[in-house]
């Protein structure tokens, strides 16, 4: 589904965010992206969605990521950004959820019906008429995920989906992610969340791909993680 060859991203002509990335991601893969701050995780997401310039090549479902293909590619990829306030811009949660489908031609009544059904399935129907910027961080994150799911993307990118959440809301986000039937790429410093939601892990450091493997292979490797500015997941501390 996604094929990346020799991907390079440079900012201001000198800051090398990604260098020589080769990556293939098949349908329905659940891939975690880990690495210290500045490793290139967000830059990879921005390149995949055509939000930053890059050299090399990226194909999504056989479409090259280039200007002429971006409308189609952005139908395929849903991007849940780290700051929910930057993603949600309509007055209420349900208005935010139906905005995309209605603009792509769905009748408003049908969009509302599907949005209500989705809210019920996620157990957050009480958010329907709530003001998007007057709800808790956990509620905002659930609402922003709901808005992306309304577009029925085949691929979903999650950038720090549980940052700043309390344990209860963090668990709700993890459960919601695990219920989604799509190819999922999850970037997070929360390695326990990665362990709970992903099958594979790609470790990035200083813009380069260090190692890809199963969660067990990567997240239990204390030496590898520490060499790259990370620590064992809390759930594994003392058991490796």
Question: In the prediction, which pLDDT does 239 show?
Answer: 53
| pLDDT at res. 212 | 98
Q: Within 10 Å of residue 147's Cβ, how many Cβ atoms?
A: 28
What are the structure tokens assigned to 45, written together? 């997401």
Is the distance from CB of 16 to CB of 63 less than 8 angstroms? no
- Distance separating alpha carbons of residues 220 and 59, to the nearest angstrom: 32
Query: How far apart, in whole angstroms, are the C-alpha atoms of residue 61 and residue 27?
Result: 10
Residues in the chain, how many? 240
CATH number at residue 175: 3.40.50.300
DSSP one-letter code for 51? -
Give the gyration radius of the chain's Cα atoms: 18
Rounded to whole angstroms, the Cα distance separating 187 from 212 reads 14
Q: Which residues constitute the domain of residue 196? A: 2-236
**pLDDT by position in tens, the chain (length 240):** 899 999 999 998 888 999 999 999 999 999 999 999 999 999 999 999 999 999 999 999 999 999 999 999 999 999 999 888 888 889 999 999 999 999 989 999 999 999 999 999 888 999 999 998 889 888 998 999 999 999 999 999 999 998 878 898 899 899 999 999 999 999 999 999 999 999 999 999 999 999 999 999 999 999 999 999 999 998 887 554
Whole-number pLDDT of residue 122: 87
pLDDT value for 13: 82
The predicted structure's pLDDT at residue 238: 59
Overall number of domains in the chain: 1
Is 25:200 a contact under the CB 8 Å cutoff? no
Specify the pTM.
0.93
- Give the number of C-alpha atoms closer than 13 A to the C-alpha of residue 133, restricted to the C-beta side: 8
How far apart (Å, rounded) are the C-alpha atoms in residues 80 and 183?
A: 13
For residue 107, the model assigns a pLDDT of 97
């Amino acid at each position: 589904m996604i094929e990346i060859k020799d991907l390079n991203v440079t900012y201001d002509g000198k800051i090398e965010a990604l260098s020589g990335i080769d990556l293939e991601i098949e349908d329905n893969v659940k891939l975690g992206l880990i690495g210290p701050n500045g490793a290139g995780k967000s830059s990879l997401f921005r390149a995949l969605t055509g939000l930053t310039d890059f050299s090399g090549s990226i194909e999504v479902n056989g479409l090259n990521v280039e200007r002429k293909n971006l409308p189609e590619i952005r139908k395929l990829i849903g991007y849940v950004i780290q700051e929910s306030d930057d993603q949600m811009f309509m007055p209420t949660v349900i208005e935010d959820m139906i905005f995309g489908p209605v603009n792509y031609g769905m009748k408003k009544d049908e969009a509302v019906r599907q949005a209500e059904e989705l809210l019920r399935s996620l157990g957050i129907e009480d958010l329907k008429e709530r003001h998007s910027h007057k709800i808790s961080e956990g509620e905002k994150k659930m609402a922003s995920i709901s808005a992306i799911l309304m577009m029925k993307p085949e691929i979903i990118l999650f950038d720090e989906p549980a940052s700043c959440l309390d344990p209860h809301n963090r668990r709700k986000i993890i459960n919601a992610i695990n219920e989604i039937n799509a190819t999922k790429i999850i970037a997070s410093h929360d390695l326990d969340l990665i362990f709970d939601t992903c099958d594979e892990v790609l470790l990035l450091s200083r813009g380069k791909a260090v190692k890809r493997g199963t969660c067990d292979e990567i997240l239990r490797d204390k030496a590898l993680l520490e060499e790259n500015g990370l620590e064992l997941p809390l759930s594994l501390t003392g058991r490796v």
